[in-house]
Structure 1
């Protein structure tokens, strides 16, 4: 008999569907048959943060890179704060990443009028705790600089000892030169100095640039969880057209990779393992990552290595209800390398329930990204590539139309004094918002 999970629904205080996890035993197919059919909400690590809810409401009123009314100005305000947008369009960061070092923040990108908020030519760096970012498009690109020139931005990075209880939800991140997403800290100082309790959910993580401006050369990477980072949840995302790190959990890490759809990945999907040489000067000994990989679907594309597994290299892995499909639609091996198979998840968010992989693709493609109710042309093209079996890993944003030049639009917001959460939810799933 194999270890499975019996899950019972209960209501959470936020109004999402939440789930309590209890251990049990049965045949594997029984567990899969009793999964819920809808991805009704996401529960992960650090998601109980209030973010900026209950704090000051700060309005972004222009698409300038700096100055009063800009997003950068709003991020630099002190205290608990909810950032909303009376403007939609493109914010050119001019190679200056947005740095978030003031805690208790919610960025509510869903409040922007069409075409939403797109950040170009840099990304976001989170160095503090209790942060929630949702419904943003982040597209750094190569800044039209020479190959291997050293320009290597992440899309969104969560870094350092103070970076914890962070939720990145319903974002669209593409064209980064280092990683589209990352969670990190110093490699050689242990758990207390790295980021932790992070959830990346329902986002499009796609088209990380390959032979671009990174000084190392080819470097198309999806999501990195660096050494010693603990409790990272990667849930309900679309990974598409990235060569490696989809995601990559390094030494001493822990987390879950649940209900992600992966398409046209190059040489690696879920990578696990440490690099021995990186520990030679460390006081710590290397240690396997510990990971639960449940309900994910990997579909080969034209960029995919011919024997690409779902999970590879070295780690302690619990794996259940995953699929790998090659170009001919045939099933492929799921695990490769020095994988220690676990009989139960090493960690698991207490209110998380996976959906069956057989129901995964339709729900991810419907719900994923910054504006699933009104996608921009870039996200529509990426979604269509999955549906049509097209697309490939790219070296520059210019191969797929270049930086967007969306018109700037304005809309006044009347933010209520009460029931702000319900007011925010009204912006989602409404065409034209």
Structure 2
């Protein structure tokens, strides 16, 4: 398996021009422009939004089809804007569309003035339509001389005038910025809007305007699936769901799609416990409190696609997610167990049950376990952890700050591209008669790393061991047998100390077919970019841990390894349970090509600027 396998849409980050297409005054009808924007609103005396624009001189006539707008708030907005400057309080006019499909015109008559609209008291007198708005998904904004006009349509041919704003009400200079504007009406949350059939405009720049808390982006795609300039790039993690021994060959277009439309334990449980081959998608995001209990997948052939949830995704707290079935994939979920999340013994945030087979955990964040954080059941076969963030196992006298346990007899375990951070021990623990591959993973701020028990065999290749604070044992220890290749130790370095005290093998005892490990020197940059539930849409607890690794923030001068100050004893020491909000949106799930559809959704939350399907 080689790095950068997936095809994704070339995208523009905030403030960049990049390689987006230039349309020579009109965009091809098949081109889709995706704009992600945050911000409190485009309203009052100052705005917060993302803007994809060009500077225009004199008259213009711009048309666009707004095909989708994520419902982060009922007053999220997408539309066409003319703006005098890029300052937050600038004079502007916008033909806007809300998630309910209503289109109307709003404007700020001068810099710093309050905004009014055809639906507000201060601007309703300018409206040409009853109530100030119409149902429309086609939007048109024109300038003729000094008059700004806004129109809406349901077909792109028959236009209804919403309002004319004449000189005196608003006055623009000859040159102004014209473009696509999107606000989520929810600071720190991105709203995704999609536009097609853009004409009369060739935007080449994009920026966040005002306070947004999280950066927006722009990406383009054409009908052939390429980037705006006709090319394509590869992106995403080096490790796909099939990179280990487990695979998803059972998954095809015949699966049943289960939609989770509300962020409740009961709604998720119904999908997890359903019968038959199935795909679980999420039309809502937010935090689910498990109340100290377990939430299990109990029937075979289940693919949980957490990447389909709107920003900032699905987060579970105060409990455990378990796969107690065969042939399952769990992607792009977060789980924070915590001090009250059940008895300490066996209190993992996430694992697969004993005797299960062919289970994949990909891009999951598992925190605050009271035993381990992410573990493999006993006597299992073919389990993969790929691109996971396994962090901050709680460290109190009745608890164990541990990363992962690979249970007795587990065969064909692959731990790939994963980050272990601030877990005292078991990074991972390989119990009796297990077979495993640990490749291209990071262990940061730890006492003990790999412990291989009698009969255990493991290939340990291309890993990075960073910020160790106790050296009483070798990094790889125990009575098992391991093959060691291209591992690095840094900050502090090995400095003559023993890396491996276990029996060393002359060749790999097992290795997934087609897997190619990257050099250990590349692992830190790769894994910090791609590990965890939504690398392009991380919440604060995830970003905090990633920053700790990147900046080596935790002090390795530890007097008592059993009580390292960088490992929390309970969730309150690091800010408490996540309480991010959420939003809803409808998903259009195709009848065919489901595997590609799921992969593109995954890439959209893994690669900054990549577009959903």
Query: Which TM-score band (shorter chain)?
Result: 0.7 to 0.9
Q: Distance in 2 between matches of 1:396 and 1:152?
A: 17
State whether structure 2 residue 589 is matched by structure 1 residue 422.
no
| Shift in alpha-carbon separation, 1:430–1:356, aligned structure 2, 3 A | closer
How far does residue 293 in structure 1 lie from its aligned partner after superposition? 0.3
| Shift in alpha-carbon separation, 1:135–1:334, aligned structure 2, 3 A | farther
Query: What does residue 160 of structure 1 align with?
Result: 354
Contact map agreement 2:3 2:238 (CA 8 A) in 1 = no
Q: Distance in 2 between matches of 1:386 and 1:173?
A: 16
Contact map agreement 2:329 2:359 (CA 8 A) in 1 = yes
| Shift in alpha-carbon separation, 1:231–1:332, aligned structure 2, 3 A | farther
Secondary structure, counterpart of 1:71 in structure 2: helix
The 5 Å alignment of 1:36-185 reads 40-42=238-240, 43-51=243-251, 54-66=254-266, 70-143=267-340, 150=344, 153-161=347-355, 163-185=356-378
How far does residue 306 in structure 1 lie from its aligned partner after superposition? 3.6
State whether structure 2 residue 429 is matched by structure 1 residue 248.
yes
| Shift in alpha-carbon separation, 1:405–1:253, aligned structure 2, 3 A | same
Query: What does residue 288 of structure 1 align with?
Result: 455
| Shift in alpha-carbon separation, 1:383–1:52, aligned structure 2, 3 A | farther
Question: Which one of 514, 521, 537 corresponds to residue 374 of structure 1?
Answer: 537
Question: Which one of 395, 418, 438 corresponds to residue 210 of structure 1?
Answer: 395
Query: What does residue 404 of structure 1 align with?
Result: 578
Structure 1 segments unaligned to the other structure (5+ residues): 1-6, 17-37, 186-193, 274-286
| Shift in alpha-carbon separation, 1:420–1:150, aligned structure 2, 3 A | closer
How far does residue 49 in structure 1 lie from its aligned partner after superposition? 4.0
State whether structure 2 residue 403 is matched by structure 1 residue 231.
no
Q: Distance in 1 between matches of 2:535 and 2:498?
A: 30
For residues 390-422 of structure 1, what are the alpha-carbon distances to aligned partners after superposition, in whole Å with 9 as ceiling and x for unaligned? 241111111110001111211111111122222
TM-score, with structure 2 as normaliser:
0.57
How far does residue 222 in structure 1 lie from its aligned partner after superposition? 0.5
Secondary structure, counterpart of 1:409 in structure 2: coil
How far does residue 218 in structure 1 lie from its aligned partner after superposition? 3.8
Equivalent pairs, count: 368
How far does residue 47 in structure 1 lie from its aligned partner after superposition? 2.2
Secondary structure, counterpart of 1:184 in structure 2: coil
Q: Distance in 2 between matches of 1:406 and 1:52?
A: 34
Query: What does residue 39 of structure 2 align with?
Result: none
Contact map agreement 1:53 1:106 (CA 8 A) in 2 = no
Contact map agreement 2:252 2:595 (CA 8 A) in 1 = no
TM-score, with structure 1 as normaliser:
0.79
Q: Distance in 1 between matches of 2:530 and 2:281?
A: 21
Query: What does residue 297 of structure 1 align with?
Result: 464
Secondary structure, counterpart of 2:412 in structure 1: strand
Secondary structure, counterpart of 2:347 in structure 1: coil
| Shift in alpha-carbon separation, 1:421–1:172, aligned structure 2, 3 A | same
How far does residue 239 in structure 1 lie from its aligned partner after superposition? 0.4
Secondary structure, counterpart of 2:438 in structure 1: strand
Contact map agreement 1:51 1:131 (CA 8 A) in 2 = no
For residues 41-94 of structure 1, what are the alpha-carbon distances to aligned partners after superposition, in whole Å with 9 as ceiling and x for unaligned? 34111124435764101000111121xxx1111111111100000011100111
Contact map agreement 1:324 1:334 (CA 8 A) in 2 = no
Query: What does residue 563 of structure 2 align with?
Result: none
Q: Distance in 2 between matches of 1:373 and 1:143?
A: 30
| Shift in alpha-carbon separation, 1:418–1:51, aligned structure 2, 3 A | closer
Structure of higher CA gyration radius: 2
Q: Distance in 2 between matches of 1:140 and 1:289?
A: 29
Q: Distance in 2 between matches of 1:58 and 1:218?
A: 37
Q: Distance in 2 between matches of 1:425 and 1:178?
A: 32
| Shift in alpha-carbon separation, 1:98–1:51, aligned structure 2, 3 A | farther
How far does residue 310 in structure 1 lie from its aligned partner after superposition? 2.6
Q: Distance in 2 between matches of 1:256 and 1:151?
A: 26
Structure 2 segments unaligned to the other structure (5+ residues): 9-235, 555-565
Query: What does residue 550 of structure 2 align with?
Result: 387
Contact map agreement 2:293 2:319 (CA 8 A) in 1 = yes
Query: What does residue 282 of structure 1 align with?
Result: none
How far does residue 198 in structure 1 lie from its aligned partner after superposition? 0.4
Query: What does residue 488 of structure 2 align with?
Result: 323
Contact map agreement 2:536 2:608 (CA 8 A) in 1 = yes
| Shift in alpha-carbon separation, 1:254–1:158, aligned structure 2, 3 A | same
Query: What does residue 197 of structure 1 align with?
Result: 382
Q: Distance in 1 between matches of 2:496 and 2:531?
A: 26
Secondary structure, counterpart of 2:384 in structure 1: strand
How far does residue 39 in structure 1 lie from its aligned partner after superposition? 5.5
